[in-house]
Amino acid sequence: MTNHEQYYVPAQSKWPIIATLGLLITFYGLGSWLNDLKAGRDESSGPLIFFVGALFVAYMLFGWFGNVVKESRTGLYSPQMDRSFRWGMTWFIFSEVMFFTAFFGALFYIRYWAGPWLGGEGDKGIANMLWPGFEYTWPMLDTPDPKQFPAPSGVISAWGLPLINTILLVTSSFTLTFAHHALRKDKRGPLKLWLALTVLLGAAFLVLQIEEYIHAYTELGLTLGSGIYGATFFMLTGFHGAHVTIGALILTVMLVRVLRGHFTGEQHFGFEAAAWYWHFVDVVWLMLFVFVYVL
């Protein structure tokens, strides 16, 4: 068990406290900004505070991860340390799964219980007394109170952009796996090519997703405020889109590291972690495609 004897315990680090301050400032700024917007106050210090905090966070991310990369390349990390990173990333992804579970749970609850009850069906159909005559359909093209929550005139069809996006993301999972195989065999040329292609596919996905949102907002009246269909639709696809953005950024960082000659065929956990994250985001999309768009 020789690898137990070299566990790397880092000395003092300034990054955690910078990260804390950065997050606190960002969140305080965001909160002030939102509150000022809602109250209709013209002058708000919120945006400024928010962006200062965000700068802090960005500085911290570069510094902290840069530090870890440097340590890794100095050879400070034992195989046991590598396992700590693997467990850390595994459980982080599990926490992300549970985050999405909350939103999927909300969707299923609305579709299979609360929605029908509001329409007068099922065990708690008495809820229909709130808005007598309300008929439940999914997609919900008619909300109980259209004055407060104007219903959309239509929803996004699964077989247009979403289908193309599905193909894009699934393909990107394959290209990323090809990149990984190339890395394992130390074939740097194909590695760069496949990885760059993966980032491009991710970016293409995001562009199409934005296009879909514009279409929804301008032509269909499908917005965050258009009742529960719009709420769940944008919450699920929006958080997924945010994750694709983060994943694409991480993969871009990996691409830069590959171009700088980082990683070897044996040692490349940074790359693997990025790949795990990307595949996770891909699986979430498949769930979305089935439960949000198709069914």
Partner 1 sequence: MSAVIDSHAATGHDHHHGPAKGLSRWLLTTNHKDIGSMYLWFSFAMFLLGGSMAMVIRAELFQPGLQIVQPEFFNQMTTMHGLIMVFGAVMPAFVGLANWMIPLMIGAPDMALPRMNNFSFWLLPAAFGLLVSTLFMEGGGPNFGWTFYAPLSTTYAPESVTFFILAVHLMGISSIMGAINVVATILNLRAPGMTLMKMPLFVWTWLITGFLLIAVMPVLAGVVTMMLMDIHFGTSFFSAAGGGDPVLFQHVFWFFGHPEVYIMILPAFGAVSAIIPAFSRKPLFGYTSMVYATAAIAFLSFIVWAHHMFTVGIPLTGELFFMYATMLIAVPTGVKVFNWVSTMWQGSMTFEAPMLFSVAFVILFTIGGFSGLMLAIAPADFQYHDTYFVVAHFHYVLVPGAIFGIFASAYYWLPKWTGHMYDETLAKLHFWMSFVGMNLAFFPMHFVGLAGMPRRIPDYNMMFANFNMVSSIGAFMFGVTQLLFLFIVIKCILGGRPASAKPWDGAEGLEWSVPSPAPYHTFSTPPDMTDEHEHRAGPSHG
Of residues 118-147, those binding partner 1 (CB under 8 A): 118, 122-124, 127, 130-131, 136, 140, 143-145
Among 14-22, 172-180, 203-211, 260-268, which window interacts with partner 1 (CB under 8 A)? Answer: 14-22
- The answer to whether 55 contacts partner 1 (rule: CB under 8 A) is no
Q: Which of 45, 48, 101, 290 binds partner 1 (CB under 8 A)?
A: 101
The owner of tokens 């390349």 is 73
Output the smallest distance, CB 77 to partner 1, in A.
Answer: 9
- What is the DSSP-derived secondary structure letter of residue 42? S
Q: Which of 47, 59, 61, 63 binds partner 1 (CB under 8 A)?
A: 63
Q: Measuring CA to CA, which residue among 99, 102, 79, 103 is closest to residue 91? A: 99
Which amino acid, one-letter code, is at 234?
Answer: F
Going 83 to 86 to 92 to 96, the CA torsion angle's sign is negative
Q: Does 71 bind partner 1 (CB under 8 A)?
A: yes
Report which of 211, 184, 151, 152 is spatially closest to residue 269, judged by C-alpha positions: 184
Q: Which segment (34-42, 49-57, 189-197, 269-277) binds partner 1 by CB under 8 A?
A: 34-42
**Least distance from partner 1 to the Cβ atom of residue 294, Å:** 20
Q: Per-residue DSSP letters for 107-123?
A: HHHIIIIIHHHHTT-ST
User: For residue 5, what is the DSSP state?
Assistant: G
Q: Kindly state whether residue 61 participates in binding partner 1, applying the rule CB under 8 A.
A: no
Q: Rank residues 138 and 174 by Cβ distance to partner 1 and give the closer one.
A: 138
For residues 222 and 110, what is the distance between their CA atoms, to the nearest angstrom?
Answer: 18
Alpha carbon distance 279, 231 (integer Å): 26
- Kindly identify the residues of this chain, within the stretch 202-261, that bind partner 1 according to CB under 8 A: 223-232, 234-235
Three-state secondary-structure class, residue 153: coil
Distance in Å, CB of 19 to partner 1, minimum: 5
| Binds partner 1 (CB under 8 A): choice among 51, 59, 65, 92 | 92
Helix (H), strand (E) at residue 47: helix 46-74
Q: Considering the complex, state which of residue 101 and residue 153 has its C-beta at the smaller distance from partner 1.
A: 101
Residue type, 272: E
The verdict on 72 binding partner 1 (CB under 8 A) reads no
The region of 24-32, 152-160, 264-272, 278-286 touching partner 1 under the rule CB under 8 A is: 24-32
